[in-house]
Amino acid sequence: MNRLKTLLIVLSLIFISGTSSFAGRIKLDHVEPMFWWANMTNPKLQVMIHGENISDCRVAIDYPGVAIDRVIKTDNPNYLFVNLLIDKSAKAGSFDILFTDKGKTKATYQYELKQRRAGSADRKGFDSSDVVYLTMPDRFSNGNPDNDTVKGMKDICDRENPNARHGGDIQGIINHLDYLQELGITALWNTPLMEDNMDKVSYHTYAISDFYKIDARYGTNDDYARLSAEAKKRGIKLIIDIVTNHSASVHWWMKDLPSKDWVHTFPEFTNSNHRKSTTNDPYVSKVDYDLNFNGWFDTSMPDLNQKNDLLLTYLIQNTIWWIEFADLGGVRVDTYPYNDKDAMAVYSGAIMTEYPNFNIVGETWLSTAAEISYWQEDALNHDAYNSNLPCVMDFSLLEAMTKALDEKLNWNTGLIRLYNSLAFDYFYPHPENIFTFMENHDTDRMMTVLNGDMRKYKMLMSFLLTTRGIPQLYYGGEILMEGRKSDGDGVMRVDFPGGWEGDQRNAFTKEGRTDRENEAFDFLKKLLNYRKNNPVLHTGKLMHFVPQDETYVYFRSNDEKTIMVIMNNDEDEAKTVDRKRFDEVMSGFTSAQNVMTGEKLNDISTIEVPAKSVMILELK
């Protein structure tokens, strides 16, 4: 009995001794970025550490080529920002970050420096040689029904509810990359795939609750990297949708902000006035200016304060992390003019310094070239502001396209809208680096705007794919999908037919499409693949002529080819154009070939174009 008692006492002492080293340990709730890469252009790295009273600790690292530059504390004791300097001599590998207090180790994190892919810094971003296809992943295709409902994810899957999750995911996109390749797509932009754990209307994923994690209902981080790799095999670049203006109200940091000024706060909910014109208004009041930039985009979207240097660095590094991790070919930044403009100039500049051949497009939803061009790098702005943002979105041209074909030609109506929109390109320092589009996830579907008119559809698609810029299509546009924004975003953003097992038909296949859908698909496929293989439509000089008699004529030319495009917007009559007016371009050419039909025109002294149609000619 005494021997048993002695044994129990010894075991108790061993247990106490063994556990005492863990007493007072700090749990590290978040370390972001979780890992990084050796041999980056910028040797600086900011690591955000979140854990209870972590600021009481000293930080130490012992790894060749890695040094602590500075440790920053905020007004919240639960955070430390550890700034590292990573020398070019630092090799890929792992090392411990030690957190100690009064000589005792309170926490340890094994940090990894990964090896960069060969040529990563020289990666080529999307450009005018590309055609971008935009999907809303939740509504495109469900490739893995097992992740439709995930424990801990609040918004449930219910295809009967237009505002609920429908189950589309990354695997669904991967399953249809061959479809996109066949169509002629060379770049893929998905609306955000990062976690959005709001309890309702989370399918759009613009209220991000974890910037370093793919939403589990879409898949995993590794699934996203696999999507990029599979797309790349098919000649398709992957563009990530990044949100820098706001996070979700359920983001983990909203329960314990890194600093009091991490987000813009008000005594009560204060919405942005959404008056982006205040950016340039010479008579603007401070209250209106601040409200555009600092007000919340929505009740579920706290406005991030990019003037906070720690936050700004966090956002820059998060974007670079995804570029490196998933081997991306571009970035699209949401709600660009709502962000602090000076901070975003630093943001875009930092990314383009790391990747000089890359591309970033900002969502610049403004009405005129004068307003939109302000946000493109190198613009001759009144205040000398330089955004460092390479690419902007041409909402002005979108507005022109939605109206031009429904009106007769007059001083400011009809086809002159297209001409005038391009005539203001002198505002843009880089007019070739502009997103052009007929529709996206926030607008009416173009076929709804066009009242289902196939003739107008072909005319506008032809214009979009032969004029300057980087054309962007929207999922389902190739099969004439319709949707009206006034019916509600969820209703407008319908599921792609055939993307779900059990759908009545599969429009990803020829057999599953109607004759009318196949007509549109085949038309677009032919034009897209012609464009893909003809650089003249990527970078060729654009010359256009003032519309006359319901016709608009323009040319794209380089040293190898000249393309002539004739649009006839007359509802009933064919139009004949006389080449004499266009001799400054057509001189020396004696014939032409119709790009879409293959028909050869041996006499181009006059060219007849049927009513409400477009003709694309390769001059010979």
pLDDT tens-digit readout, 186-236:
999 999 999 999 999 999 999 999 999 999 999 999 999 999 999 999 999
User: What CA–CA distance (Å, rounded) separates 596 from 331?
Assistant: 33
Query: Is the separation of the CB atoms in 163 and 203 below 8 Å?
Result: yes
β-strands 562-568, 575-578: how paired?
A: unpaired
The CATH number assigned to the domain with range 540-619 reads 2.60.40.1180
Residue 553 phi, psi dihedral angles, 5° rounding: -120, 135
The residues assigned a catalytic role are 334, 363
Q: Is the pLDDT of residue 5 over 70?
A: no
Which residue spans within 6-65 are E strands per DSSP? 28-32, 36-37, 44-51, 58-61
Look up residue 173 and give its two tokens: 């996109």
Q: Is the pLDDT of residue 72 over 60?
A: yes
Query: Quick count: other Cβ atoms within 10 Å of Cβ 410?
Result: 9
Separation of alpha carbons 221 and 14, rounded Å: 42
Q: Please tell me the distance from the alpha carbon of residue 188 to that of residue 326, in angstroms, as a whole number.
A: 13
146-149: long-range contacts at Cβ-Cβ below 8 A with a sequence spacing of 24 or more? Answer: 147/216, 147/217, 147/218, 147/219, 148/217, 149/217
Output the average pLDDT for the chain. Answer: 96
Res. 16: pLDDT tops 90: no
Does residue 8 surpass a pLDDT of 70? no
Q: What is the pTM of this model?
A: 0.95
For residue 257, pLDDT beyond 50: yes
**Angle between the 221-233 and 309-326 helix axes, to the nearest 10 degrees?**
50
Beta bridge partners of 157: 165
Examine domains 28-116 and 540-619 and report if their fold is the same.
yes
Cross-strand partners of 45: 84
Distance of CA 281 to the CA centre of its chain: 28
CA distance 348 to 339: 12
Tell me: the pLDDT tens digits for 321-371? 999 999 999 999 999 999 999 999 999 999 999 999 999 999 999 999 999
Q: How confident is the model at residue 13 (pLDDT cuts 50, 70, 90)?
A: very low
| DSSP H or E segment with residue 539 | helix 536-539
* Tens-place pLDDT, residues 470-481: 999 999 999 999
Dist. CA 234–CA 184, nearest whole Å: 10
Indicate if the pLDDT at residue 121 is higher than 70. Answer: yes
Residues 29 and 27: their CA atoms lie apart, in Å, by 6
Does pLDDT of 14 surpass 90?
no
Percent of the chain with pLDDT over 90: 96
Q: What token pair was written down for 177?
A: 């990359």
* Distance (Å, whole) CA 133 – CA 390: 19
Residue position matching structure tokens 């599969």: 506
pLDDT at 21: 44
The SS3 of residue 453 is: coil
Q: Dump pLDDT digits (tens) for 370-407.
A: 999 999 999 999 999 999 999 999 999 999 999 999 99
For residue 24, the model assigns a pLDDT of 79
Which residue carries 């009318």 as its tokens?
A: 516
Evaluate the omega torsion of the peptide bond into residue 77 and state whether it is cis, within 30 degrees of 0.
no
> How far from 404 is each of 371, 410, 414, 438, 554, CA to CA, in Å?
21, 11, 4, 12, 16
The count of residues in the chain is 620
Task: Give backbone dihedrals phi and psi of 229, rounded to 5 degrees, phi first.
Answer: -65, -40
Indicate the domain borders of the chain: 28-116, 121-538, 540-619
CATH topology of domain 121-538: TIM Barrel (3.20.20)
CATH C-level class of 28-116: mainly beta
- b/e map of 345-379 (b: 16 or more CB within 10 Å)? bbbbbbbbebbeebbbbbbbbbeebebbbbbbbeb
User: Can you tell me the distance from the alpha carbon of 523 to that of 519, in angstroms, rounded to the nearest whole number?
Assistant: 6
Residue 65, sorted as left (phi over 0), alpha (psi -120 to 50) or beta, turns out to be left
For the segment 154-164, the average pLDDT, to the nearest whole number, is 96
Residue 3's pLDDT band (cuts 50, 70, 90) = low
Q: Which residue is it, tokens 């001799």?
A: 583
